[in-house]
Amino acid sequence: MVNVLLISPSSMPLFQVEELLSDKNELLMPNFETPTGLIELASYTRNKLDYVNFELLDLAKELSAFHRNLADNSPTDYARFVGRLLSQVVTIPDIVGISILFSSSYLSSIKLAEIIKKKWPTTKVIFGGGHVTFYHSTVFEDSDFVDYVFVGEAEIGFKKFIRKISADKSNEVSNISVEEIPGVYDRKKVNRDLEKGIVKAEFGELLTDLDQIGLPAYDLLDLETYRKFSNAFPDGAIGVMMERGCPFKCTYCASMVIHGSRIRTKSNQRIID
């Protein structure tokens, strides 16, 4: 069994998170949304591999609970706050995947990686998401605690990565190395590219049939909390993803670069499900 902990960090910059935790500033309103990318990654992986156990930690949701007095909100700092949440993880993870969708989450994620490595030294720490897709090489300059970076979409690459980790864990011979997986980078691979003058990353393989994802792994979430507090709708709502890709090249949006210019949609039946 391969144990995976997926983490969704808050989009708040680290200095604001620290301010919120140390002195409950009413002007700081931490928000959170359904971590759609992570629960779809978990669902796809489960559909392809039957030996993966997932847990999910949404730091944005936990910060919101702290702010709303629904959790222990005595003054603290980021390291203690995260440490308390990690102590609630049921199984020591072989892999921790951190999804950095926004640049504002980067510094807190760097700190998070350090906390995780000090708690679980043998755990593999992965960064993925929009920010590191564009700045994959700087991750290894900024942290000694990150093992891998996933560039672009991760479903196919993560499946291959899990197979490799499972083989290593069982002392089996694997027919693929991690460095051969498109879109997956470690420090050696980045340094080798830089020595060759290669600065642009190779993206992960795109999933052409989104129906292969299946129903998102909603069992990893406290859905009632997301329904009530992650949106402004009177009756509540849960975020969903119905398509990927965009033909437009808006300067303020990275969707086309990350997901490609061709629009890929889920089938009508899958959306209804």
The answer to whether residue 239 scores a pLDDT higher than 90 is no
pLDDT given for residue 108 in this prediction: 97
Domains of the chain listed by start with CATH number: 2-240 (3.40.50.2300)
74 pLDDT band (50/70/90 cuts)? confident
Find tokens 């620290």 and name the residue.
18
Global pTM exceeds 0.85? yes
Residues 17, 196 contacting (CB under 8 angstroms)? no
Cα–chain center distance at 75: 27
The answer to whether residue 238 scores a pLDDT higher than 90 is no
pLDDT given for residue 71 in this prediction: 65
Q: What are the Cα distances from residue 268, in Å, to 20, 206, 208, 209? A: 42, 20, 16, 13
pLDDT given for residue 203 in this prediction: 94
